[in-house]
């Protein structure tokens, strides 16, 4: 998208430099990275970055500042996930855009929004590694001119709050088995917060502890990384009743994961938001089903999505469950990035953090693909696709 930078990178690329970059990153993360990393970063013009940030903040405001939306969103929070000491507003919000070319230039089209932590640690280490390996000095890793130290401090406050990091844990299901474990290693290295299995959590009265061998360590704050539908899918339960008034804080709570999900899409009004409607209100869908996608409200990483849903697909969902799905107009992303394997599409995630002055966009995350979907699981066997750093050229 920045032709001068793209041409220079493609001419300088070698597989050996890519392998060396990846090996160095894995060393910093303390182990292998099990998802695919694209051979190339995404060079994002500053004008496009600023537009993505502006639209993200406008869309977030349409939800968090709407009493009607917040009231309606309560209906999708299961009773067992209603935290008595949860966040008044979500601390972390992710806004995903697929990029397209229009007559007015490069624009985004909303894929989804999610009030859930993303790879705040790993994405910084990835961007560091890419910029160092490919001599990309002068390009920004962050939105809005944020410095590296300011980013680390802002995210530290969001994760740790006012607590000793030793009393904050990243809560996950078997974190050592998750593909996201490089982010857990980065989180511990950057902010001193370690990931623990939720089955190691115990309560005593109103207090919460984590079992560490023969010791029990007090927990004052959960940095939640447990995806509720994964917990249910694996037949697991929380180690205590989340509705109990316990002496522990939450950041990235599971209640907000439900409130700001695909349920939010029909509430948004912006030219960058594709038409979306609840399946329960989707009578009379156009016959051209190729233009539509069926999405479960609480799916993660593309799970359960059906492209071009047929009448049989829709009929298979009981009427009582239809309020758990949306149908969304499908947008064809423009292949904007020239690679040796052909033009490639890109999706940019705007990662936001709630601060005293509002939601601040902090760092971008990129995913490149030529498959039906952008996630790394949907581009297996391809090269120059996968997770990537987004480097911002403020001069363009």
Quick one: pLDDT at residue 303? 65
Quick one: pLDDT at residue 292? 87
188: left (phi over 0), alpha (psi -120 to 50) or beta: alpha
Confidence of residue 301 (pLDDT cuts 50, 70, 90): low
Quick one: pLDDT at residue 237? 93
Quick one: pLDDT at residue 196? 97
The percent of residues above 90 in pLDDT, for the chain, comes to: 76
List, in order, residues 6 or more apart from 301 with CB less than 8 Å away.
375, 377
Note the residue count of the chain: 396
Q: What is the pLDDT of residues 305-344, one digit of tens each?
A: 888 888 888 888 888 888 888 888 888 899 999 999 999 9
Task: Give the tokens for residue 237.
Answer: 């339960």
Q: What is the pLDDT of residues 228-273, one digit of tens each?
A: 989 988 999 999 999 999 999 999 999 999 999 888 999 999 999 9
Quick one: pLDDT at residue 282? 64
Q: By the 8 A CB rule, do 349 and 366 touch? A: yes
| Residue 374 pLDDT > 70 | no
**pTM of full prediction above 0.85:** yes
Q: What is the pLDDT of residues 14-37, one digit of tens each?
A: 999 999 999 999 999 999 999 999
Distance separating alpha carbons of residues 161 and 153, to the nearest angstrom: 11
């Amino acid at each position: 998208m920045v032709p001068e930078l793209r041409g220079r990178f493609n001419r300088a690329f070698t597989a050996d430099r890519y392998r060396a970059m990846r090996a160095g990153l894995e060393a910093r993360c303390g182990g292998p990275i099990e998802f695919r990393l694209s051979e190339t970063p995404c060079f994002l013009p500053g004008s496009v970055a600023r537009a993505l940030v502006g639209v993200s903040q406008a869309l977030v405001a349409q939800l968090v500042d709407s009493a009607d939306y917040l009231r309606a969103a309560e209906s999708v929070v299961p009773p067992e996930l209603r935290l008595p000491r949860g966040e008044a507003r979500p601390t972390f919000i992710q806004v995903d855009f697929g990029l397209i070319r229009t007559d007015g230039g490069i624009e985004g089209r909303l894929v989804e929004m999610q009030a859930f932590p993303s790879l705040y640690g790993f994405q910084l280490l990835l961007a560091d590694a890419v910029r160092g390996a490919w001599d990309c000095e002068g390009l920004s890793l962050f939105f809005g001119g944020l410095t590296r130290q300011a980013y680390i401090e802002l995210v530290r406050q969001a994760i740790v709050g006012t607590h000793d990091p030793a009393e904050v844990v990243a809560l996950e299901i078997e974190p050592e088995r998750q593909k996201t474990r490089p982010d857990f290693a980065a989180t511990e290295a950057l902010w001193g917060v370690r990931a623990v299995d939720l089955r190691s959590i115990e309560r005593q009265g109103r207090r919460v502890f984590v079992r560490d061998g023969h010791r029990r360590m007090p927990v004052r704050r959960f940095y939640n990384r447990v995806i509720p539908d994964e917990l249910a899918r694996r037949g697991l339960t929380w180690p205590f009743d989340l509705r109990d008034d316990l002496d522990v804080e939450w950041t990235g709570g599971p209640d907000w994961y439900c409130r700001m999900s695909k349920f939010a899409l029909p509430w948004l009004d912006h030219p960058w938001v594709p038409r979306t409607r609840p399946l329960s209100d989707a009578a009379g869908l156009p016959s051209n089903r190729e233009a539509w996608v069926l999405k479960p409200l609480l799916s993660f990483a593309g799970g359960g999505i059906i492209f071009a849903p047929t009448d049989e697909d829709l009929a298979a969902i009981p009427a009582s469950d239809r309020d758990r799905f949306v149908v969304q107009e499908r947008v064809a992303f423009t292949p904007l990035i020239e690679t040796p394997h052909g033009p490639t599409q890109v999706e940019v995630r705007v990662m936001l953090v709630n601060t005293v002055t509002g939601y601040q966009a902090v760092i971008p995350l990129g995913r490149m693909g030529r498959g039906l979907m952008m996630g790394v699981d949907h581009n297996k066997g391809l090269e120059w696709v996968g997770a990537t750093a987004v480097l911002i050229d403020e001069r363009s």
